[in-house]
Amino acid sequence: MTGFVNPCAPEDAPIVGRNSPRLDSTVKVTGRAVYTVDIEKPGMLHAKVLRSPHAHARILSIDAAAARSLPGVTAVVTREEITGLNSYGTYVKDQPVVATESVRYVGDVVAAVAAVDERTAFAALDLISVQYEQLPAVFDVRAAMEPSAPAIFPDQPFAAYPEYGDGASGAAHTAHNVSYEFRYETGEESVWADCDYIFEDTFTFSRMNHMHLEPFATVAEATANEIEVWTSTQSPFPMRKELARVFGLPENDVRVNVPLLGGGFGAKNGPKTEAIAIRLSQLSAGRPVRYCMSTEEVFLTLSQHDAILTVKSGLKADGEFMARQSRVLLNGGAYADASPLVAEKAGYRMPGAYRWKRIDSVCQAVITNSVPAGAYRGFGATQATWASERQVDLIAERLGFDPLELRLKNAKELGEEFVPGESPIDSDLKHGLNLVADAIGYRDRTRSSNRGMGVAIGIKDGGGVNKPAQARVKVTTNGDVFLNCALVEMGQGGHSALCQIVAETLACDPKRVKYAAIDTDNTPFDQGTNASSGIAVMGHAVLQAAERVKCSVLDTAAEHLMLDRQSIRLDNWHIVDAEGTTYELPPLIMDRFGGTGFEFTADGYYKVRNSSSAPLEAPCIFWEIGWAAAEVEVDPETGRVELLQLVVSGDAGKVVNKLGCRGQDEGAAVFGLAQALFEELRYEDGELLNGEALLYRVPLAEDIPRLFSSITQEQGHGAGPFGTKGMGEGGMLPIAPAIAQAIADATGAQLTSLPMTPERVYNGIRAARLRQGGADGNA
């Protein structure tokens, strides 16, 4: 991928770029949208699980006899019933279907019950008696790495990981309680000797829950030889592969159906409710089993990674960035889940948007006795951007530079490679910085006490690594179109955008394009709905399929009408010739193919080519950038921050659906706003204190600043169809650092921990006053 070829957008693109309502709007505003939680099957049973009350304990015995004999109970799954089943996880396969020798966090699943209703299932759980021997537990990442800390996995679980390219390496189990370690380096170590200043700072990053409104849910119908699930997953095919592996079945005996998702944000990758529902169904004579978690259970299932990030940066006296070293510890919780991939990405993204002569990053995912952490909107880049951007502001203050000017001086140019072997930057980063800065009046402001402004930029390699996508388009005799591909609709508007691409190509009304139901028996293969890959990766496969269908229709028509193939075009399921004469297609097709007609069908495929010089197997298809600018007013007496203005911007490359792009940037920005100011999972001695909706504070309409806006840029350099790039995560990245700098600008308080609660801000202001007092005293 050059990343710079701008595939010609059609001169007059009437469908792509429209400000039209999404195609799923009617089902969603009428309540007719069907999610996994709405799936009901005749004779359906209900599952509930028993969870560990201990953070770390050996299971001595489980007595489930009374539960098994309770009327209405059809099956109980304990470690006895999962003999022979494999454990699951991305790279590191360490999570069993239910706990075997030990439990590793409060909430770890110990047993599961299927019964005629949820009440009976709950009653059965009360009858299961588990004897534990408590083991020492560890919750802090640094403590977990001490040799004296308990080994959470005494035997190292099976792990497989990719072959990295130039400068990158990765390995499992590199240190005590480390599930995975990623390293990247480029440039000479000697660069450090040329630096005039070197600063080292440590930042901490908090942990949030995804809080998707639709909980994890699955309905499974399974026998020993055949599995079918309806499930709320972002990754139908990786799910099929993993379930086939867990249950030791060929992939064509596992069928995964995916309805609409009520939000995902990364949480719905990898098995959650699936394996338990399947095993219970197998033990209930194949009756369908529904396992739908409560919100409280969702809190005990997956979270974001909290992190400690130490960054050392070297500069020249004029502010030129020279060298950056980073050491990142991610709290991966009790099971690896997607931690290896998040570690890879967090480590890789530590350089941020800037030019360095030397980069040296190490990121370790640490196992602790807490809720497993996995994929979360931003995927390591949120952590990296917090530390990277915050340190730029700290350095600017120390050396007396304006934070915006220091960024503009060091930001990469459009077309400059991120690191050797990687794709060039495909957005004008400085343009975006100036855009958001100007939008809040950064340069024209008049100083007033307790008010301040900050600007930040976040960057992540988008579209996933080594990610293939396939798609199929078929058109009936009458011109009704099906799009068949496995991009899951979880709110991002992907179905609608892809249907628009098909409609654009076939020159038909988007309403005539139906996004077919996702079912791994019939839907073409794909690697999952993640990494903002929908438009840039799947979009290519869809475009190719649609173009091939169009070619096939035009070939058939040209031959049948004896017209020059190059002189005809398709318009609203008519053929139009050079003179403008139109020919209806249905009679032509009936005439040509006979019977009840014909369906034109074609497949598309896309994947960025692998390259051994690309650090992460293949160069990324696009760069997802988020720019933000914030203005705050801080009450110095209480530390309370009022967000006066927030502007977020992303570069869509080329907009397919305006409402969709705007919604992605604003939604992502509000995740960032919440992480910046209040939202976090709070722990005390490893115990989650706010793991339920009443206590867990998510942003509400009243938290949004009165001046909140997004700017969707169309810089036109994207490598996706029509010059598009992916959206959805970039907007989250720069928000917390922009707000942090606004607070620093207002009060002098330089915060290094999230969220920036009134207490932290108040203490930061006091520390800043002491610092200034000290400086005055020295002067």
Chain residues in the site for other proteins (CB under 8 A)? 21-22, 24-35, 37-38, 46, 72, 116-120, 211-215, 260-265, 290, 292, 294-295, 490-493, 659-660, 662-663, 666-670, 692-694, 698-702, 704, 708-709
Q: How would you class 243 by CB atoms within 10 Å of its CB: exposed for 0-12, middle for 13-18, buried for 19 or more? A: buried
How far is the CA of 291 from the CAs of 115, 272, 288, 685, in angstroms? 11, 10, 10, 30
Please provide residue 622's backbone torsions phi and psi, each rounded to the nearest 5 degrees.
Answer: -155, 165
Report in angstroms how near the CB of residue 667 gets to other proteins at its nearest.
5
Nearer to other proteins, 202 or 295 (CB): 295
Report in angstroms how near the CB of residue 695 gets to other proteins at its nearest.
9
Do the Cβ atoms of 46 and 114 come closer than 8 Å?
A: yes
Please provide residue 691's backbone torsions phi and psi, each rounded to the nearest 5 degrees.
Answer: -85, 45
Give the bridge partners for 461, in sequence order.
Answer: 623
Cis omega (within 30 of 0) on the bond before 147?
A: no
Nearest to 82 by CA among 111, 121, 50, 40: 111
Report in angstroms how near the CB of residue 757 gets to other proteins at its nearest.
20
Report in angstroms how near the CB of residue 444 gets to other proteins at its nearest.
24
Nearer to other proteins, 27 or 770 (CB): 27
Residue 323, H or E segment:
strand 321-333
Report in angstroms how near the CB of residue 761 gets to other proteins at its nearest.
23
| Whole-angstrom distance, CA of residue 587 vs CA of residue 570 | 15
Nearer to other proteins, 27 or 285 (CB): 27
Nearer to other proteins, 561 or 659 (CB): 659
Report in angstroms how near the CB of residue 698 gets to other proteins at its nearest.
6
Report in angstroms how near the CB of residue 652 gets to other proteins at its nearest.
15
The tokens for 173 are 């189990």
How far is the CA of 229 from the CAs of 35, 111, 118, 276, 338, in angstroms? 13, 20, 19, 11, 22
What single DSSP character describes residue 176?
Answer: T
| Strand ranges across the sheet with 582-584 | 569-571, 574-576, 582-584
Contact residues for 201 (Cβ-Cβ < 8 A; gap 6+)? 310, 311, 387, 390, 391, 394, 752
Nearer to other proteins, 314 or 491 (CB): 491
Nearer to other proteins, 116 or 561 (CB): 116
Report in angstroms how near the CB of residue 313 gets to other proteins at its nearest.
32
| Whole-angstrom distance, CA of residue 394 vs CA of residue 751 | 9
| Whole-angstrom distance, CA of residue 513 vs CA of residue 500 | 8
Nearer to other proteins, 331 or 492 (CB): 492
Nearer to other proteins, 303 or 423 (CB): 303
Nearer to other proteins, 54 or 662 (CB): 662
Report in angstroms how near the CB of residue 702 gets to other proteins at its nearest.
4
| Whole-angstrom distance, CA of residue 187 vs CA of residue 184 | 11
Report in angstroms how near the CB of residue 72 gets to other proteins at its nearest.
6
Nearer to other proteins, 700 or 779 (CB): 700
β-bridge pairing 683-684 and 481-484: unpaired
Report in angstroms how near the CB of residue 400 gets to other proteins at its nearest.
36
Nearer to other proteins, 292 or 381 (CB): 292
| Whole-angstrom distance, CA of residue 708 vs CA of residue 662 | 12
| Whole-angstrom distance, CA of residue 205 vs CA of residue 183 | 20
